[in-house]
Amino acid sequence: MPIIEARHISKKFEFYKKEEGIKSSFKNLFHREKLTKDAVKDLSFSVEEGEIVGFLGPNGAGKTTTLKLLSGIIYPTSGEMRVNGYIPWKRETLFKKEIAVVMAQKNQLWWDLPANESILLNKHIYEIPDAEYKKTLSDLVEIFGVKDLLSVQVRRLSLGERMKFEIISSLIHKPKVIFLDEPTIGLDLMAQRDMRKFIKDYNKHYKSTVILTSHYMQDIEELCSRAMIISQGEKVYDGALSDIKRDNIKILSFSVDHLNFDRDELIHFGKIRKEEEGSVSLEVVHNQVRNCLTYLLNKYELTDFSVEDLPIEDKILKLYEAGAQ
């Protein structure tokens, strides 16, 4: 049985239009125009225990709203949802003990205290027995390599170190389901790599289920075999990441000594992606690559050429755009 099931979930936000200026504010006292925003529309999906699902979408697509629905912070306008058997927005105590929400932009550690004291607070909130707490904390600081920093005041830690402790603190109760919103945002390359390794090791060690949002494709590629993509509140893709990668468009780039290309003939083979002095990149359907190359070799004196896969970011962008139409 899936650990997460969402059936036809929609969330509409209602709010009042705010106009600028004193005159408008005065007018608003008597007549306020109500607006609605469909943040999530008829979303259905299920997630199996132990999966790490990459949850993607452009800004404003409805990812955070979905994570808030899944964790019970808000309730839907319509639809049904179960997370580990619970209806999230009922916020039952046992449900809260089995999930964790980690939002990179939100801090839960106390700045003036060392991290171990904030983590200790969560021990009491989640009523974790002493022995279990010690074992989990020692495992987590081991996985993250931050044992020596436990008693350093949080404000003295680097962003990367602080994020690690934010996550340790959120996971100290060993939740079965974790909602991770942008865990690597703002981190340098090394800290991003550490964070990805941690998520991978944690998932392996505790068999937890993870829903991960990130604008960094490397996070998604390294951690998730499945991607769920939403655009304007609607699901536009749910499946293997490898199927997105297997897109049949190739990028054919070539350089020539002179500058005159016959654009009309080139666009016959595909979209011109980039055109600079003496070099062009074309998006060509894979079964047209050979024809295109033959044409180029016959027509021009090529000084260089290459055939590459379309970057995964571009493929995902195409899915976002398809959803927005």
Site residues, ligand ATP (CB under 6 A): 13, 15, 37, 39, 57, 59-65
Nearest in space to 117 (alpha carbons), one of 175, 168, 185, 181: 168
Select 28 or 116, whichever has its Cβ closest to ligand ATP. 28
Minimum distance of ligand ATP from residue 70's CB (angstroms) = 12
- Contact in structure between 117 and 109 (CB atoms under 8 Å): no
- Contact in structure between 37 and 65 (CB atoms under 8 Å): no
Q: Is the alpha carbon torsion for 100, 157, 149, 201 positive or negative?
A: positive
DSSP 292-313: HHHHHHHHS-EEEEEEEEPPHH
Give the helix/strand (H/E) hosting 40. strand 34-47
User: What single-letter amino acid sits at 268?
Assistant: H
Cα–Cα distance between 112 and 152 in angstroms, integer? 10
Select 12 or 273, whichever has its Cβ closest to ligand ATP. 12
Select 101 or 280, whichever has its Cβ closest to ligand ATP. 101
Select 39 or 236, whichever has its Cβ closest to ligand ATP. 39
Minimum distance of ligand ATP from residue 200's CB (angstroms) = 23
* Residue 170 neighbours by CB under 8 Å, 6+ apart: 100, 101, 102, 108, 122, 178
Select 72 or 270, whichever has its Cβ closest to ligand ATP. 72
Minimum distance of ligand ATP from residue 102's CB (angstroms) = 14
Minimum distance of ligand ATP from residue 132's CB (angstroms) = 34
Nearest in space to 250 (alpha carbons), one of 278, 218, 289, 279: 289
Select 73 or 113, whichever has its Cβ closest to ligand ATP. 73
Select 63 or 196, whichever has its Cβ closest to ligand ATP. 63
Minimum distance of ligand ATP from residue 88's CB (angstroms) = 16
Select 65 or 122, whichever has its Cβ closest to ligand ATP. 65
Minimum distance of ligand ATP from residue 76's CB (angstroms) = 13
Largest Cα–Cα separation, the chain: 76
Residues in the chain: 325
Cα–Cα distance between 154 and 218 in angstroms, integer? 28
Minimum distance of ligand ATP from residue 218's CB (angstroms) = 17
* Residue 114 neighbours by CB under 8 Å, 6+ apart: 150, 151, 152, 153, 154
Nearest in space to 113 (alpha carbons), one of 31, 169, 49: 169
Minimum distance of ligand ATP from residue 181's CB (angstroms) = 8
Minimum distance of ligand ATP from residue 52's CB (angstroms) = 19
Select 61 or 101, whichever has its Cβ closest to ligand ATP. 61
Rounded-to-5 percentages of helix, strand, coil across the chain:
40, 30, 30
